Chain A
Amino acid sequence: MGTGAMASAIVIEGLNHHFGRGAVRRQVLFDVALEVAAGEIVLLTGPSGSGKTTLLTLIGGLRAAQGGRLRVLGRELVGATALQLTLARREHGYIFQAHNLHRSLTAAQNVRMALEMRGSLSEAEMDRRARRILESVGLGDHLDVKPGQLSGGQKQRVAVARALVGEPPLLLADEPTAALDSHSGREVVLLMQRLAREQGCTILLVTHDSRILDIADRTLSLEDGRLC
């Protein structure tokens, strides 16, 4: 993996991260090195507090990196400005533990927001793509329903659709199955896998859930801030 014509989606070298300052300064990541090839599906596991979520937020540009080398989709994120991080985030799809859908928007409007941000598509095209991806996650008949009226699994499927509608080269997910029962959890993950494969999207997925380990190309484990 990560060799030949395929460029690397993520290259990390010597990445350290600290929380707090002065006396309460605490190191959470120690000299992390990692390379993920484009199109690869990588699972990141580890006990809670091991630093996996911190690593994910650094890769996702949600948190400013402090030192080392962190190249994501060809952008160096160490020392990046807030605006550069915002622009980097536009290339990523995110799936959170909670669905984090907007309550006031319908399923279709929620999905459309991810396209609106780019601002390059026509009105009709945005609607068409939002509809198509919701159909492909099995919610074609729930387009105009607000999150309040959807089940947990349905909401997470809308969240998957929102993350992938813009065909991002990188998808980051943190415990996407945590709030779901085993059946709908597995369904959501398979859906992610299928859509990502179709789009050639790289996936980095943090999970505790042993039932979904089989979807990965590679599984990494983080313990006390060190990859092993």
Chain B
Amino acid sequence: MRTPLGWLQLRHDRGRFLVALAGIAFADLLMFMQLGFQAALYDSNTRLDRAFRGDVVLISPKALNLQNLSTFPRRRLLQALDVPGVVDAQGLYVRTVNWRNPQTLRSATVQVLGFDPDADVLRLPEVRAQADRLKLPDTVLFDRGARGRYGEVIARLDRGEPVTSEIERRTIAVGGLFRLGASFGADATLMASDQTFLRMFPRAKAGSISVGLLTLAPGEQVAPVVRALRRHLPDDVQVLSHADYVQFEENYWRVASPVGFIFGLGTAMAFVVGVVIVYQVLSTDVNAHLQEYATFKAMGFRQRYLLLVVVEQALILAALGFIPGALMPLWLYAVAAKATSLPIAMTLGRATTVFVLTLVMCLASGAIATRRLQAADPAELF
């Protein structure tokens, strides 16, 4: 085995080595945070969409995202039932509104979903279990994972005490809790019956719904039914499979909103910071050893050998810098998840992505740094 020159050289100057590792760890940390927030953004904003129970989703062609769905005629649900394979059709009313936070008595934004409490439209067992409470007039269920100062409200509800609030100058009773979690688009979500919803928003028309959820017969293929629905229904409604609908929501945040771009840019900048740091360290190291490298060339070592030394150093830095760079986010994710009520956690996929980015970062810096090796001229030694 050859002498591990790159490793010995790195270890020789401990101060510089630690600075390099700290720099890489910091770049990794930045990338982890950016990618983590980005994933949390997509995840939290599609959480309610994913909870919709239905194989096919109908929305207005004007819909942008869950907070801006627009409406389409309720009749389309009945028409959809004409298409073979469709066995059930349910409508959802969705609105974003200001309510009075029962704890602070200040105005806060909430998203309200209205639906038939007898229909099983959401994959949220807590909501299903409390369907009877929704049938009480002007009663809603509140999201335990909401962002904002709701701690006392939740504690009171947990103790079974009544809590009331106000929406559009109408007193609303909070009848129970479920867990969904905040998103970038909505701090909190309320579940209501369709009757309560329509009373809350007198200007909303019962015949105009925001989402249609279609259930297909067991074993029915989704794609052919979607095609049949598109042929059968007029242009004022968009037909999507449930998966495509979730993708539609995610695409809004990824492409149409600036947030996806911002986190992508943040990741790219963290990467560039890492390249600069590693390049600084490696090129300083090459410079500091030019005389020694020239000696090696005089002894008959080829340029390739010295390139390998720099590559070895780059790989060592990448691997050792990644360890603290991946451990720190574990803690920061927990802090961020607590502070923002967003689902931020380490995933194996993201760790792999960042590790690959770190390798690329270090090898790219190493490749730039090796250009300095040309300056090692054995003829200058004597």
Residues of A within 8 A of B (CB): 53, 56-57, 60, 62-63, 83, 86-87, 89-90, 92, 94, 96-98, 100-105, 109, 112-114, 116-117, 123, 146, 174, 206
Separation in Å of the B285 CB from the closest CB of chain A? 10
The 8 closest A-B pairs by CB, nearest first: A90-B300, A104-B12, A174-B382, A63-B379, A89-B300, A100-B295, A104-B9, A104-B8
List the A residue with the shortest CB-CB distance to B7.
A104
Separation in Å of the A150 CB from the closest CB of chain B? 15
Q: Is B292 an interface residue (CB 8 A)?
A: yes
- Contact, CB under 8 Å: A104 / B11: yes
- Contact, CB under 8 Å: A109 / B8: yes
Complex: how many Å from CA A94 to CA B289?
18
Q: Which of B277-322 contact A (CB under 8 A)?
A: 289, 291-292, 294-302
Contact of A96 among B3, B301, B381 (CB under 8 A): B381
Separation in Å of the B313 CB from the closest CB of chain A? 11
Separation in Å of the B282 CB from the closest CB of chain A? 15
Contact of B298 among A53, A87, A89, A103 (CB under 8 A): A89
Complex: how many Å from CA A114 to CA B299?
7
Complex: how many Å from CA A86 to CA B3?
20
Interface size on B, residues (CB 8 A): 24
With A86-B300, A89-B298, A117-B301 known as contacts, the answer to whether A97 contacts B382 (CB < 8 A) is: yes
A-B contact pairs, 18 of them (CB 8 A): A56-B382, A57-B379, A62-B381, A86-B297, A86-B300, A89-B298, A94-B298, A96-B381, A97-B382, A100-B292, A100-B294, A103-B289, A104-B8, A104-B12, A105-B3, A105-B5, A123-B1, A146-B12
Residues of B within 8 A of A (CB): 1-3, 5, 8-9, 11-12, 289, 291-292, 294-302, 378-379, 381-382
With A89-B299, A94-B299, A113-B299 known as contacts, the answer to whether A102 contacts B292 (CB < 8 A) is: yes
Residues of chain B within 8 A (CB-CB) of A109 are 3, 8
Complex: how many Å from CA A130 to CA B301?
18
Residues of chain A within 8 A (CB-CB) of B295 are 94, 96, 100, 102
- Residue among B3, B11, B382 with max Cβ neighbours from chain A (10 Å): B382
Residues of chain B within 8 A (CB-CB) of A89 are 297-300, 378
Separation in Å of the B157 CB from the closest CB of chain A? 66
With A96-B295, A123-B1 known as contacts, the answer to whether A117 contacts B300 (CB < 8 A) is: yes
- Contact, CB under 8 Å: A57 / B3: no
- Residue among B296, B301, B381 with max Cβ neighbours from chain A (10 Å): B381
Residues of chain B within 8 A (CB-CB) of A63 are 379
Separation in Å of the A108 CB from the closest CB of chain B? 10
| 4 other A-B residue contacts (CB within 8 Å) besides A60-B382, A96-B382, A102-B5 | A62-B381, A86-B301, A96-B381, A105-B8
With A57-B382, A62-B379, A116-B3 known as contacts, the answer to whether A87 contacts B292 (CB < 8 A) is: no
- Contact, CB under 8 Å: B5 / A104: yes
Separation in Å of the B82 CB from the closest CB of chain A? 80
Complex: how many Å from CA A174 to CA B295?
13
Contact of A87 among B289, B299, B300, B378 (CB under 8 A): B300
Separation in Å of the B3 CB from the closest CB of chain A? 5
With A57-B379, A96-B382 known as contacts, the answer to whether A103 contacts B12 (CB < 8 A) is: yes
- Contact, CB under 8 Å: A113 / B300: no
List the A residue with the shortest CB-CB distance to B300.
A90
Separation in Å of the A195 CB from the closest CB of chain B? 17
With A114-B299, A117-B299 known as contacts, the answer to whether A100 contacts B381 (CB < 8 A) is: yes
Residues of chain B within 8 A (CB-CB) of A117 are 299-301
Separation in Å of the B306 CB from the closest CB of chain A? 12
